Amino acid sequence: MILGIETSCDETAAALVTEDGHIHSNIVSSQADLHARFGGVVPEVASRRHLELVLPVLREALAEAGTTLDGVERVAVTRGPGLVGALLVGLSAAKALAWARRLPLVPVDHLQGHVASLFLEPGAREPPFLCLLASGGHTLLLDVRDHSGFEVLGGTIDDAAGEAFDKGARLLGLGYPGGAALDRLASAGDPDAFSFPVARVPGLDFSFSGVKTALLYAVRDLGGEADDRRADLAASYQRAVVRALVERTLEAAERTGAQQIAVVGGVAANSELRASLEGAAFAPLQLCSDNAAMIASAARYAPAVPYPDYLALDAYASREAA
């Protein structure tokens, strides 16, 4: 069994996954409520909370899988990208566990983890496929040729898609993180009520800062009327963001000749996106947002660092810094 640990942002997560991709437990403790009053994740607050939660979450993952550390053969942990202070909590816990048990450790890239959410059973997907990774921190189009890596075809030049949803939600008074709430509100609205243009940038990149500003102006122009139009605003805004995601994804698929399209990351939970990309493989809902099962899954295809060489491993904030 592989023990996965994930602490890159505001979810403390641990999971037990078998070598052939079956999930025995997948525990996620979200700190979202803790950060809500700040309107975003406060890194130092996140690190401290991870420190409190990492052992209880680990114990729960072992208990739910009906195993102990004796049943663990490898420890997998997110090394980056993410908040370095938050990552270090998970990485240190993983090192300590692996070292105490003389186990190998597999450092995992968080983005590769999102892709590997598709390799879990039941219903595992096989590469090659074109993958849209849309989360709070990233919006990427990836050419996935095998289980262990990808080539980046495009990304966002400003906000991530999840960030666009969160900022839109905030303008509509939906709290943080508001992507899921905006999705729910939009279902009661008219997506054609407002026209929110999304900038088309060259290549296979995305830009979402303009559409957010368009929503801001619409809310301002409506004044006191905006409250009654919230569902329409949400539906129109969601339509604009989803359309941009779908168009670019289909363009990328055409360019690469991909036979299969897959969607992963928190935004993959969006109902309109799931309905718009017919035939695409979507990560199961419980594996869209950050979790440790996907990290353990990625470790199935990544090289393990033998005991005790991994003690010197460091976390990285961005892929460029890796």
Catalog residues that contact ligand KG4 under the rule CB under 6 A. Answer: 9, 135-137, 162, 165-166, 177, 179-180, 183, 265-267, 269-270, 289-290
| Span of 134-142, 153-161, 225-233, 309-317 interacting with Zn ion by CB under 5 A | 134-142
**x/- string (CB under 5 A) for Zn ion, residues 244-283?**
----------------------------------------
144's tokens: 């996935």
Question: Least separation, in Å, of the C-beta of 178 and ligand KG4?
Answer: 6
| Among the listed residues 71, 70, 66, 76, the one whose alpha carbon sits nearest the alpha carbon of residue 13 | 76
- Pseudo-torsion of CA 63, 69, 71, 74, nearest 10°? 120
Task: For Zn ion, give the closer residue by CB, 8 or 238.
Answer: 8
Question: Least separation, in Å, of the C-beta of 177 and ligand KG4?
Answer: 4
Residues of the chain by 3-state class (helix, strand, coil), percent to 5: 45, 20, 35
Question: Least separation, in Å, of the C-beta of 304 and ligand KG4?
Answer: 24
- How are strands ordered across the β-sheet holding 2-6? 23-30, 11-17, 2-6, 74-80, 105-109
Task: For ligand KG4, give the closer residue by CB, 62 or 295.
Answer: 295
Distance from C-alpha of 14 to C-alpha of 90, rounded to nearest angstrom = 10
The answer to whether 290 contacts Zn ion (rule: CB under 5 A) is: yes
Instruction: Check if the beta carbon of residue 235 is closer than 8 Å to that of residue 189.
Output: yes
Distance from C-alpha of 123 to C-alpha of 255, rounded to nearest angstrom = 27
| Site size with Zn ion, rule: CB under 5 A | 2
Question: Least separation, in Å, of the C-beta of 271 and ligand KG4?
Answer: 6
Task: For ligand KG4, give the closer residue by CB, 104 or 107.
Answer: 107
Binding residues vs Zn ion (CB under 5 A): 135, 290
